[in-house]
Amino acid sequence: MKTIAMNQLRVNEYCGVVHIHTTFSDGGVTYPELVNAAKNTGLDYVVVNDHMTLQGKHAGCEGFAGNVMVVVGYEHHDYQGLNHYLVLGTDAVLQEQAQPQEYVDGVRERGGIGFIAHPMERRHYFKKYPPFPWTEWDVTGYDGIEIWNQMSEWVENLRRWTSYVRVLYPRRFLSSIRPELCAKWDELNRERFVAGLGGVDAHTFKFKAGPFRIRIFPIKVELKGVRTHLYLTTPLPRDNWPAAERQFLDALRDGRGYVSNYRRGDASGTSIFLETQDGSAVLPGRAGSVVLPPARIHVRVPQPAEIRLVCNGELLDCAKGERTEFAVDSPGVYRVEVFRRARAWVYSNPFPVGRYPL
Ligand SMILES: [Zn+2]
Ligand SMILES: [Zn+2]
């Protein structure tokens, strides 16, 4: 955990990895192996989403393990195995809910939160690994979407002639979120707040490359890619799990933070906030919707980079260096993107400035 000062606001930043599969479904890692890897990579939390099971929760794997917070949710799918939804904060799997609108509503009624998984997944080259995009965009009431899915991007670009290199250097190919998905996220946010998170979808499956069988993405490699960073104004209470989990889920649902790719550098310590006219700091996410222009967005990153300001899906401004400030003069959905050597490093959650629809 890092402490960051944003004007008068003291923020605790928790950095972790979301959407991990364990041996309780089709993942390749056990809970003890996962916790060990998370400790060794210095993560503050991990979130497990096995397919249609909360076995990890029922086996008592949830809670603080040393400095690592282990949160157990699951990944719901419809009666055909499609429309995957990352569910957190429920005690039971909603097995009877067959249609996406039913399970989105069911999760909410039980006090949980949910994110659409790999919303625009595409896979061209291998029949064995079909894509599972979200197809039911008329569904309402989900809390957010998985804006970056490490495994999806890797498989999407898999072609036989590059397979060997991809297997040996799996993270080298993580480049950026697809423009169509960014555009969709921005469009959704003009109607209501829709949070973004980054997931790895860690399966650590085995891949046959010629005569070799190689385990792609061993867990310690998985945990060094797409990460989700959360800004919390009070530290998580380690002696009160229900309160800690609620605080964590609220931050995730409200999009208080950003997504990074560790492969481009450790982004921890990145500061992104909006300063209102009276000088108070507002975190990225849902809280921005109470702000009216004019305002300023402040960005500070740990290494020199290209810092971009996006408004309503359009690139509005750009600066090079470790820190910058952007003026916000009119209502709209504002986001910060940070690139290093033409590849994406950081995506902030949106600041919805003004009143909906934006
Ligand atoms: Zn899935
Ligand atoms: Zn998954």
Ligand nearest to the CA of 116: 1
How far apart are the CA of 121 and the centre of ligand 2, in A? Answer: 12
Tokens of 159: 């072609």
Q: Measure the CA–CA gap between 331 and 356, rounded to whole angstroms.
A: 9
Taking the model in full, what pTM does it have?
A: 0.94
Is pLDDT of 209 > 60? no
Ligand nearest to the CA of 119: 1
How far apart are the CA of 139 and the centre of ligand 1, in A? Answer: 18
How far apart are the CA of 202 and the centre of ligand 1, in A? Answer: 10
Ligand nearest to the CA of 199: 2
How far apart are the CA of 252 and the centre of ligand 1, in A? Answer: 19
Q: Measure the CA–CA gap between 330 and 289, rounded to whole angstroms.
A: 13
Q: Is the peptide bond before 357 cis (omega within 30 degrees of 0)?
A: yes
| pLDDT in the model for residue 53 | 96
How far apart are the CA of 356 and the centre of ligand 1, in A? Answer: 31
* Contact between residue 323 and residue 336 where contact means Cβ atoms under 8 Å apart: no
- Taken in order 39, 259, 135, 127, the sign of the CA dihedral is negative
How far apart are the CA of 28 and the centre of ligand 2, in A? Answer: 12
How far apart are the CA of 326 and the centre of ligand 2, in A? Answer: 36
The confidence band for 178, taking pLDDT boundaries of 50, 70 and 90, is confident
How far apart are the CA of 210 and the centre of ligand 1, in A? Answer: 27
Is pLDDT of 160 > 60? no
The confidence band for 126, taking pLDDT boundaries of 50, 70 and 90, is low
How many CB atoms neighbour CB 280 within 10 A? 14
What value does the mean pLDDT take over residues 303-325?
Answer: 97
How far apart are the CA of 133 and the centre of ligand 2, in A? Answer: 12
Ligand nearest to the CA of 131: 1
How far apart are the CA of 222 and the centre of ligand 2, in A? Answer: 13
Q: Measure the CA–CA gap between 271 and 258, rounded to whole angstroms.
A: 10
Per-residue pLDDT tens over the stretch 71-115: 999 999 998 899 999 999 999 999 877 899 999 999 999 999 999
| pLDDT in the model for residue 172 | 63
Cα dihedral 94, 254, 4, 148, rounded to 10, equals: 70
Length of the chain counted residue by residue: 358
Q: Which amino acid is at 14?
A: Y
H helices of the chain, in order, are 31-40, 55-58, 100-109, 150-156, 163-168, 179-189, 219-222, 241-253
State whether CATH 3.20.20.140 applies to domain 2-268.
yes
| pLDDT in the model for residue 44 | 98
Q: Which amino acid is at 139?
A: V
How far apart are the CA of 84 and the centre of ligand 1, in A? Answer: 5
Per-residue pLDDT tens over the stretch 242-290: 999 999 999 999 999 999 999 999 999 999 999 999 999 999 999 877 7
How far apart are the CA of 86 and the centre of ligand 1, in A? Answer: 8
How far apart are the CA of 132 and the centre of ligand 1, in A? Answer: 7
| pLDDT in the model for residue 206 | 60
The confidence band for 337, taking pLDDT boundaries of 50, 70 and 90, is very high
What value does the mean pLDDT take over residues 40-59?
Answer: 97
Q: Measure the CA–CA gap between 177 and 184, rounded to whole angstroms.
A: 11
Q: Is the peptide bond before 294 cis (omega within 30 degrees of 0)?
A: yes
Tokens of 324: 């910058």
